[in-house]
Amino acid sequence: MKRKILFSLFALFLCLTIGTATAVLYMSSNISELKNIVNLQEVEQLRKSLIIEIHDVQAELYTVNTPYASDLDLIVRKGVKLEEISHQCTTCHHPPKLQSRIENVQSLVHDYKTALSFYITASANVETTERLKLDAVLKGNNLINLTNEMSHSASKNLEGLTSDTMRRLNNVTKILLLTIMITFFLGVLVAVNLTRSITRPINELVQATRMITSGEFGSTIEYEDATEFGELAEHFNTMSTTIRDGYQKIRNEMEVRKKTEEALRESEEKLQSVFNQMQDIFYRTDREGRIIWVSPSAAKILRYESTDELTDRYFSDFFASPRKRQGFLQELSEKGNVSNYEAELRRNDGSTIIVSINSHYYENKNGKIEGEQGVCRDITERKKLEEEHVKLEKMESLGILAGGIAHDFNNLLTTIVGNIKLAKISFDHDEKITEILTDAEEACRRARDLTNQLLTFSKGGKPIKKITSIAEQLRSSALFALRGSNVICQFSIPENLWLVEIDEGQMNQVIYNLVLNAIQAMPKGGTIMITAENISIGLQSRLPFSEGTYIKIKVSDQGIGIPKEYLQKIFDPYFTTKQKGSGLGLASTYSIINNHNGYIDVESTIGTGTTFSIYLPAIKDRLPHEEKKPAIIIKGKGRILLMDDDDTVLMTVGKTLKQLGYEVELTKDGTEALESYKKAKESSKPFDAVMMDLTIRNGMGGKETMEKLRTIDPHVKAIASSGYSADSIIADFKQYGFAGFISKPFEIEELSDLLNNVLSGKS
């Protein structure tokens, strides 16, 4: 492009130079001619002036006057001037003929001057003067004629020379105009060419640059030539493509980075969320043991407003026990790490938590110890669970023990009650002894109720339900729990209270637990109010159970109340606010009510008291009214096989059966019973009924014995007895093949009635 521009400028310059040079050449020759014309004009003026002077001299000569010397001097000077001009013209471009004329004029002027000089200086001789005068006149006329002739010739020459000069000047003008026009058109062509060669690529470059500026990376210029603009366009296209590729690469990298940052942010949020939610304390200290960083969970666990309150404090200062603190620091110093070190940390509010600490020293890149870092795991709940688990095991052991005690106690009561009844029969005629025995019998009944309450704590599993009225149970269970307390209980129970299908033992446990909680909430005494009512629940009810008929039981106290933050936790296993509580009472209560398809709720106000509300599905049908008949002893006959591992029970029940008229054979376990039953059947003296205890220590119990008896005799009539009412067989004894069941301790009237029904096929 530079060559193109230089070539275009050179062409313009050459054209202008040629035209100008041509014009200058023409002007130079014209200037020379003009100088000649000027000289000719000057000569002509001198000639005219000379002619005029000569005429003046001639006029003087023709007159009698003598020319003045001054006139003569003027003629001489003009003649000299004419001579000088003629000398100048001799070196110019006059033709030879004109040159000779000029030389002739010069000669004539010289002669004329000489003649005049002679005339002026002549003597007084008239003849000589006239002769000289005539000679001067003739020479003057000759000079005038020659001058006129030269003037005429010079006029023609001057006219021709002027005409030729004007023609040349016109040619110069034309040359200049032509040069200007050619230069103009050539300049236009150059401008157009340069415009196309420069402006177009520049415009395209500007347009492409604007497109790139607006974000259209990769825009290219469709311009190709061998000039610098072509090279520029090529480099621009390469640059634009590189920018596009680079931009795309950057965008891809930004997308990747954005995704990476989003993933990192999500990861950080998750990690932060984990840090915020986890129950572990992560910490790092400096060499002196001052905390330099701690996880956000630490502030929450240790009950501080923020982690700023924890930094710059010595980690060991949080140990509640100086002995534990010293042990931790010593183990860390000796081993360089601590694993599963259990200690109590003191919170900001003064309370403590139990933590398991895993800690170790950390080093810098030079291997120098920088401080300690570790994690504290809150194991307070785990420790509580472990303690509660131990308590639960103790409770289970206590339950088993209670069941065993109740079983043995019922066996003793069975012996006592049976012997009392036999004594009453023996001393029927002695009213005083009968009255004493009746009091003893009543005491045994109360003792039986006591063992039934004791069995409540050892009873669990699926409820053994039966349809009954809960009214009397509410009273008896509450009064049993109130024994020995300074609290009284009031009841509001309607006579028309609907029936419920419940496990009486488990429901006793529920009422006992609620009343016991109420007593503990009123250490200074007070009143417990127990109410029951029939209610119907519709679809619009806000209670979280289905519509239907229910009985609602409320147990209210006047105690200290339950804090609001604890209301949602009181039914959780092991949750307790009591120093010696197990946290199982209300949990088991909730479980029992739930297993009865019921619902339990609690309302409490601090300083006013607490009310527990129980909803149990009701049965509107009333139990058929049965008039209580006085208990009577029904005599019978037949052979009875009796099995019990307790010798006193075996002897007492055996005597009772004999008193009722039955033949009795006594066995102590299932093996003996099976052997006796087989022998009796083979000897054609089979037993009419078998009465067996379900629980036999170190031997075959009633359930297994019954299974084997049915293989021997599918129609065997067997009665199950037990002093442990939690046995699952009791709920559905017929499913196991038993014809009846009797619970220890039992009275002779109850036993006689059951035997009569079994042997007669009524049961």
CATH of the domain at 22: 1.20.1440.210
| CATH code of residue 362 | 3.30.450.20
Asked if residue 597 and residue 723 are part of one domain, the reply reads no
**Of 174, 194, 212, which closes a domain?**
174
| pLDDT of amino acid 583 | 47
Asked if residue 167 and residue 23 are part of one domain, the reply reads yes
Asked if residue 711 and residue 669 are part of one domain, the reply reads yes
**Of 327, 350, 378, which closes a domain?**
378
The DSSP output letter for 569 is T
Output 307 or 404, whichever has higher pLDDT: 307
Give the model's confidence band at 93: pLDDT under 50 very low, under 70 low, under 90 confident, else very high.
Answer: very low
Containing domain of residue 559, as a range? 464-619
- Is pLDDT above 70 for 575? no
| pLDDT of amino acid 146 | 76
SS3 content of the chain, % helix, strand, coil (to 5): 60, 15, 25
Q: Provide long-range contacts, Cβ within 8 A and 24+ apart, for 538-546.
A: 543/599, 543/601, 543/615, 544/599, 545/597, 545/598, 545/599, 545/615
| pLDDT of amino acid 221 | 73
Asked if residue 718 and residue 647 are part of one domain, the reply reads yes
- Over residues 448-491, the pLDDT tens digits come to 766 765 665 555 545 668 889 999 889 988 988 888 889 999 99
Asked if residue 560 and residue 509 are part of one domain, the reply reads yes
689-693 and 663-667 strand pairing: unpaired
Residue 715 falls inside a structural domain: yes
The percentage of residues in the chain with a pLDDT greater than 70, rounded to a whole number, is: 79
| pLDDT of amino acid 324 | 93
Residue 657 falls inside a structural domain: yes
Q: How many CA atoms lie within 13 A of 189 on its CB side?
A: 12
- Is pLDDT above 60 for 636? yes
At 346 the three-state DSSP class reads strand
Output 89 or 359, whichever has higher pLDDT: 359
Residue 46 falls inside a structural domain: yes
Q: How far apart are CA 394 and CA 407, in angstroms?
A: 19
Residue 383 falls inside a structural domain: no
**Of 320, 348, 378, which closes a domain?**
378
Asked if residue 615 and residue 644 are part of one domain, the reply reads no
Total count of domains within the chain: 4
Give the model's confidence band at 92: pLDDT under 50 very low, under 70 low, under 90 confident, else very high.
Answer: very low
Give the model's confidence band at 342: pLDDT under 50 very low, under 70 low, under 90 confident, else very high.
Answer: very high
Give the model's confidence band at 395: pLDDT under 50 very low, under 70 low, under 90 confident, else very high.
Answer: low
Asked if residue 144 and residue 93 are part of one domain, the reply reads yes
- Is pLDDT above 70 for 282? yes
Given a contact cutoff of 8 angstroms between Cβ atoms, the answer to whether 748 and 660 are in contact is yes
Residue 743 falls inside a structural domain: yes
| CATH code of residue 551 | 3.30.565.10
- Is pLDDT above 80 for 53? no
| pLDDT of amino acid 47 | 67
60-81 in b/e form (b: 16+ CB < 10 A) is bbeeeeebeeebbebbbebbeb
- What DSSP element (H or E) covers 50? helix 2-62
| pLDDT of amino acid 623 | 56
Asked if residue 479 and residue 370 are part of one domain, the reply reads no
Asked if residue 655 and residue 602 are part of one domain, the reply reads no
Asked if residue 654 and residue 605 are part of one domain, the reply reads no
Residue 335 falls inside a structural domain: yes
Q: Quick one: which of 224, 203, 204, 197 has its CA closest to 7?
A: 197
- Over residues 320-341, the pLDDT tens digits come to 999 999 999 999 999 999 999 9
Residue 30 falls inside a structural domain: yes
Q: How high is the mean pLDDT of the chain?
A: 80
Output 617 or 66, whichever has higher pLDDT: 617
Q: How many CA atoms lie within 13 A of 112 on its CB side?
A: 34
Asked if residue 149 and residue 10 are part of one domain, the reply reads yes
Mean pLDDT calculated for residue range 611-618: 94
Residue 723 falls inside a structural domain: yes
| pLDDT of amino acid 101 | 66
Asked if residue 711 and residue 605 are part of one domain, the reply reads no
| pLDDT of amino acid 457 | 52
